[in-house]
Structure 1
Amino acid sequence: MVNELGSDIATAVITEFNKLNAKSGKPTTRSNGVKEWTVLAGVVAITSDSKITPITLATGVKVLPDKVRSYSNGKVVHDMHAEILALRLFNYFLLEEASNLPSAWVERYHNQVRFRKDAKLALFVSEPPCGDVSMNYLSSLLESNDSWTSSSTEGFYRGRNHFDQLGVVRTKPGRTDSLISYSKSCSDKLCLKQLTGICNAATSHIFEPIYLEYLVVNNVDTADFDRCFKNRFQTENGHYLKLLKYKTKAYEFHKSDEKEPSPLSLLYIVPHNLLQVLNNGVKNGAFIKNKAPKPGGESIISNKSFLQKLTRICKVNESRYSQFKAFHNTRQAIKQEGRDLLQNWRPTSIDDFDL
């Protein structure tokens, strides 16, 4: 059922995206006449005065193979699906606000920092998140309803394989001929964030947990939403998402069989008017095959950039990123609780680096 709030949120995100006069980053028409498509996502704050404020916008449909982590050195963004980028960018926004107190969005609270308490957060996505919540929608678009016969790999499901198996953890990307990434689907990652919150390793070091209130998306049935985000994830500590649907046709870059996916990802922090374009997980133009990017080519939302920004705000005692993550015992325990609930959660390789 279409919700007025959902429509207002979708309109706010799409309007900001359409206003962007970016030289690159938006889908385009290629020299051979083929048009590009991409997924748009945005994190939106709804304050107590009912004002809807888009905070971050992101586009993207790509994910990098797990082997990239062996040479990333914290400088490559591996998961470039729009909703994950929008959340990573929101974490950068938090660190930026925390480094420039007083702020309209964050405030000191005891020994930590917290996001303003009168605001609820929504995540808008122009397509159903990949993974469990979208499996029935994807199967309805196929000519045949016969299950794909490719077997699960090493005990987990890749992309759209076995779409008749519901409630299971899946990995990106959807194509079975692609290199393995072990990066979990957006459905699974969003489900886990109902327990951990959306702060990452860097922001959780200084921020109170922050949770999403709404997921704003179309083409998702309530039954699929409940199975993905509630039924398979029964926990007393969960901050369960609420589904909002919307009505607007203002977004013109939806997925289509006649279009090709855009290779670029656009990142935009609305309150800061900060824009960056990614290609292969690094700044556009900084990519080097099978190596870390050119000097200064890492994105603002790379793990390396996050930790560099955090160390300008507070002291970090660990010497390696892996040590820094492991030191937060409480957060690690919460993450493990969520992974145990979801089951078959195979971790990606470590992307470690010196701090």
Structure 2
Amino acid sequence: MTANPDTIAALVLQHFDQLPAKRKPLVRDNGVHEWVPLSGIVAQGKDGKLTCLSLATGMKCLPHAKLPRAQGNVLHDWHAEVLAIRAFNRFVLDEARLLLSGGPSASSPFLRWRDESEMRVSSLASSSSSNGDSQERQHQERQQQMSEGSVGATTTGAPKWHAQPFAWRDDVALHMYCSEAPCGDASMELTMAAQDDASPWEIPASLLSPREEEALPLGPGSNASFSPSSSSSALSTAAAATAAAQVQTLGPLPGRAYFSRLGAVRLKPARADAPPTLSKSCSDKLAQAQCTSLLGSLASLLVCPSGAYLESVVLPRSQLSDTGCRRAFSGRDRGGRMAAVEPYSDRWQGGYRFREFEAKATDHEFKWSKRSVEARVGAEKGRLAASNLAVAWTGHGLEEATLGGTIQGRKAFDIKGASFASRRKLWALSLEIAGMLGLGMVQSREALMSKTYGEVKRSNLLQARRQVKQDVQAGALRGWAKNEGDDGFGL
């Protein structure tokens, strides 16, 4: 039985309340009260017991121009939803290390060992032998493939690698709590409702490619929005697929701009006066996670993704737009933009599939949400401000605060300021775990021993995951721009 959304929300709020005061929004010396979004990941065991695995606060991201300086040490996106998922990945890796450290008799309430019958390997991966010279030769060949950009190229229909040693337990469900509507498409109705003038904006030709400009003669009075029927009946399969394709005729849109343009991929930040980024909105990232699971590339080399999908996302009642969530996250049955990926889902390998979560309402409010702070101090301009601090916590006891993507008190971009959820720290931990696994998992270890982070991501072992992302971004999330510039560093 699915957990009560109020119970899920209360658990995350309780864990945040237990954090030290220094991790919470402040009242500044000038009397300005800070607010911040909160998100958390909760596991539900087969007995119904709930466990908070990670939580995070935050609402900013790294300007694209600064990515080359990050070198794996700086978070790119610390919106609460994204950071909570990264902290969840840290929890999963720490849980795998604990399971390995405990010996053959050890067990975990969240992870399990996979047996050989579950583990499939591609022809490239399975050709490895126990001969050291053969392993070294294959490693050199793979490195050459990486340098030539051909890693991941496999025969059409050939089995993709699927030999992770761990899996998320099938009887443990995952839920997410968010104190605010995810930025991007799921919150557009809320954005429009807050406008003094909700008239559609004209889409400038600069945001359209020549092909798109011909296909969509947008101008005053013309708004080619994705607009599911306001009735409760779902669109037909054909209509849903057509609508999902039509909404993605633009490139990614900036923040809340062109708010009447529905179904589109959007970029952070929401503020037009902030430095530009290529970080996608939380709505878009959560929509894609319905296909890739909550596991990132590094964790996916060690843990099968098939069980690590969200079952529900819990939002305060005031932040839940049923229309927006249906459009942003649903498939054909509910007339959402994800209908475009469903024809591909059945062919995905590696444990991947489209798994739609359910958006649910809670009556609990976060003490430091903008609404709660306004209720205490009033909505007068200048009395409220967004907190610059981002906080991350995991169920294994890790806790930290970051400013600008770097641990608070550390120099920006310094390796000593790398968050426990940073690319560098997650890669190092993944490599440590692969080393503990021994010769039986030589493929994962070789991939993680690559010279650069980019080479790890291009590993042949992640081909199934890349295929999923390619299908999602070519269909439902068309216009997705890669946020590149921080993958050339090594350990």
Calculate the TM-score normalised by the size of structure 1: 0.93
State the match for 1:297 in structure 2: 417
Provide the rounded CA distance (Å) in 2 between the counterparts of 1:252 and 1:299: 23
Q: How does 1:159-178 map to 2 (within 5 A)?
A: 159-178=255-274
Q: What SS does the corresponding residue of 2:370 show, helix, strand or coil? A: coil
State the match for 2:194 in structure 1: 141
The structure 2 residue matched to 1:262, chosen from 387, 402, 405, is 387
AA aligned to 2:172 is A
CA contact (8 A) 1:150 1:161 kept: no
Provide the rounded CA distance (Å) in 2 between the counterparts of 1:153 and 1:26: 39
AA aligned to 2:9 is A
Q: What SS does the corresponding residue of 2:56 show, helix, strand or coil? A: strand
AA aligned to 1:306 is L
The structure 2 residue matched to 1:221, chosen from 286, 311, 321, is 321
Provide the rounded CA distance (Å) in 2 between the counterparts of 1:322 and 1:252: 38
CA deviations on 1:290-344 (whole Å, 9 max, x unpaired) are: xx22x42100011011110011111224211111101121111111111112101
1:250 Cα shift? 5.2
1:221 Cα shift? 2.3
The structure 2 residue matched to 1:278, chosen from 390, 402, 405, is 402
Unaligned regions of 5+ residues in structure 2, if any?
100-105, 116-163, 209-250, 331-335, 346-352, 435-444
State the match for 1:337 in structure 2: 471
1:259 Cα shift? 1.2
CA contact (8 A) 2:292 2:465 kept: yes
CA deviations on 1:22-42 (whole Å, 9 max, x unpaired) are: 4x2210100000000000000
AA aligned to 2:490 is D
1:4 Cα shift? 7.4
Structure 1 residues 95 and 160: alpha-carbon distance in aligned structure 2, compared to 1, 3 A threshold: same
State the match for 2:490 in structure 1: 354
Mark the structure with the bigger radius of gyration. Answer: 2
1:11 Cα shift? 0.8
Q: What SS does the corresponding residue of 2:416 show, helix, strand or coil? A: coil
Provide the rounded CA distance (Å) in 2 between the counterparts of 1:150 and 1:276: 41
Report the RMSD for the aligned CA atoms in angstroms.
Answer: 1.7
State the match for 1:326 in structure 2: 458
The structure with more helix, counted as a fraction of residues: 2
1:272 Cα shift? 1.9
Calculate the TM-score normalised by the size of structure 2: 0.68
CA contact (8 A) 1:41 1:83 kept: yes
CA contact (8 A) 1:280 1:287 kept: no
The structure 1 residue matched to 2:69, chosen from 68, 71, 75, is 71
Pick which of 320-329 and 127-136 moved more: 320-329
AA aligned to 1:116 is R
CA contact (8 A) 2:179 2:366 kept: no
Pick which of 32-41 and 342-351 moved more: 342-351
Work out the percentage of aligned pairs sharing the same amino acid.
32
Q: How does 1:87-236 map to 2 (within 5 A)?
A: 87-101=85-99, 102=106, 103-110=108-115, 111-148=164-201, 151=204, 153=207, 155-209=251-305, 210-218=308-316, 219-230=319-330, 231-234=336-339, 235=342, 236=345
CA deviations on 1:114-157 (whole Å, 9 max, x unpaired) are: 12221110110000000000001111112221235674757320
Provide the rounded CA distance (Å) in 2 between the counterparts of 1:250 and 1:76: 27
1:224 Cα shift? 1.5
Q: What SS does the corresponding residue of 1:178 show, helix, strand or coil? A: coil
Provide the rounded CA distance (Å) in 2 between the counterparts of 1:73 and 1:249: 37
Provide the rounded CA distance (Å) in 2 between the counterparts of 1:46 and 1:172: 31
Q: What SS does the corresponding residue of 2:303 show, helix, strand or coil? A: coil
CA contact (8 A) 1:167 1:227 kept: yes
The structure 1 residue matched to 2:429, chosen from 303, 309, 322, is 309
AA aligned to 1:41 is S
Pick which of 315-324 and 237-246 moved more: 315-324
Would you say how many aligned residue pairs link Structure 1 and Structure 2?
347
Provide the rounded CA distance (Å) in 2 between the counterparts of 1:127 and 1:118: 28
Provide the rounded CA distance (Å) in 2 between the counterparts of 1:58 and 1:336: 28
Provide the rounded CA distance (Å) in 2 between the counterparts of 1:336 and 1:287: 36
The structure with more strand, counted as a fraction of residues: 1
Q: What SS does the corresponding residue of 1:310 show, helix, strand or coil? A: helix
1:251 Cα shift? 2.6
Provide the rounded CA distance (Å) in 1 between the counterparts of 2:3 and 2:463: 41
Provide the rounded CA distance (Å) in 2 between the counterparts of 1:354 and 1:261: 34
CA deviations on 1:171-200 (whole Å, 9 max, x unpaired) are: 000111221111000000000011111111
Unaligned regions of 5+ residues in structure 1, if any?
none
